Structure 1
Amino acid sequence: MPPRDEAEKKEKQGRPWLTIALLLVILLLSGGYVYYFFFGGSRGVTAAAPAGKQMPVAMQKMSLEPIVVNLADAGLRRYLRAKITLEYSEDKLTPELNERLYRIRDTLISVLRSKKTEDLQNEDALKRELLTAINAQLIGGQVQGLYFEEFIIQ
């Protein structure tokens, strides 16, 4: 029986290395997961876009001064105060927007002043209408997004 005990001892002596190796693998995998989770993996590295796909374009924004208008509700004195931010991708559009800002504000005021309170309930339709009206004033590019930073009806 002594030979069998020696074989079992040798087998048990080899297991601490296996345990250490498994712990090391688990530690490396969990460290990689923590790094990816907290630091976003390879977020800072840019790669070439696959064929047929374009890289996202950096968007520019222009915040307009708040606009206050009377609403077209019959028999009621309601006001709308809106602060609007425009979003566009073309750098060359910035000078044109600044140059035509008075036209854009006038267009926004005209459209908003013609609205009744119930017309303002569908925000997406209102945004599309305002975008169409603004883009009709522009020559060198198009505004892609319109966002309300403030929208108060009183």
Structure 2
Amino acid sequence: MAKAETAEMTPAAPVAKVGIVQLAIVAFVAVIGAVGAAGGLVWWMGKTGKLGGGGTKIVEVVKTEPQKTKDQVLEPMVVNLTDVGGRAYLRAAITLRVADEEKPGDAKKEEGGEKKPKAGGQQDVAVRDALIDVLGRKSSEELLQPEGKEQVKKEIKAVLTVREPSLKVVDIFFTEFLVQR
């Protein structure tokens, strides 16, 4: 039995004891390193545009003067539509909102202080011709669609930009719109 007693008395390899303070310091350093690495990665991805979600963009707001406009009221017109049978027509009254490019010598004002837009003349004739051209190519079905009027406004604006470049159309308003089938 002497052998068993000697085995118990032999000192074992020394075991390193780590204190709670040392463990807390190591954990703290590891957390700080991980947070710093994650923050750096997010910053880099945001800087290079690889971060999803589009990010927030800072937009500089520039205050500008509102564009001066005037309304050009056109006489109501009746236009035949392209429906089968040729019996459909459109009665429309249209007002064009155009940019008011007042020249120094054109400051003739009405009593109310606003310039009265000129009706008639060559420009009015060209505008009415363009409107009849665009509207006359439509069917009643196209015009009565939910997006029909908006599409017609875009087409009218495009045609007027080409035919009458001096007339800067800002917006188009239908003040009367009647489709007869």
| 1:76 to partner: Cα distance | 4.7
**Is 1:71 aligned to 2:76, yes or no?**
no
Please state whether the residue corresponding to 1:144 is helix, strand or coil.
strand
Please state whether the residue corresponding to 2:71 is helix, strand or coil.
strand
2:72, 2:164 → 1: CA distance? 14
Unaligned runs of 5+ in 2: 1-60, 104-116
Once superposed, which parts of structure 1, at least 4 consecutive aligned residues long, lie more than 4 Å away? Answer: 92-95
1:62 to 69, 72, 86: 72
| 1:81 to partner: Cα distance | 0.3
Identity across the alignment (%): 35
C-alpha root-mean-square deviation of aligned residues, in Å?
2.4
Q: Is the 8 A contact 2:160 2:167 kept in 1?
A: no
Q: Would you say how many aligned residue pairs link Structure 1 and Structure 2?
A: 104
Unaligned runs of 5+ in 1: 1-50
1:127 to 153, 157, 160: 153
Normalising by structure 2, what TM-score?
0.51
The equivalent of 1:148 in structure 2 is: 174
Q: Is the 8 A contact 1:68 1:79 kept in 2?
A: yes
| AA in 1 matched with 2:159 | A
| 1:111 to partner: Cα distance | 1.1
**Is 1:53 aligned to 2:79, yes or no?**
no
Greater helix share, 1 or 2?
1
2:102, 2:65 → 1: CA distance? 19
| Bigger Cα Rg | 2
1:116-152 C-alpha deviation (Å, 9 max, x unpaired): 1111122111110011111212233411100000000
Please state whether the residue corresponding to 2:83 is helix, strand or coil.
coil
Please state whether the residue corresponding to 1:146 is helix, strand or coil.
strand
| AA in 1 matched with 2:165 | I
2:129, 2:77 → 1: CA distance? 10
1:71, 1:150 → 2: CA distance? 16
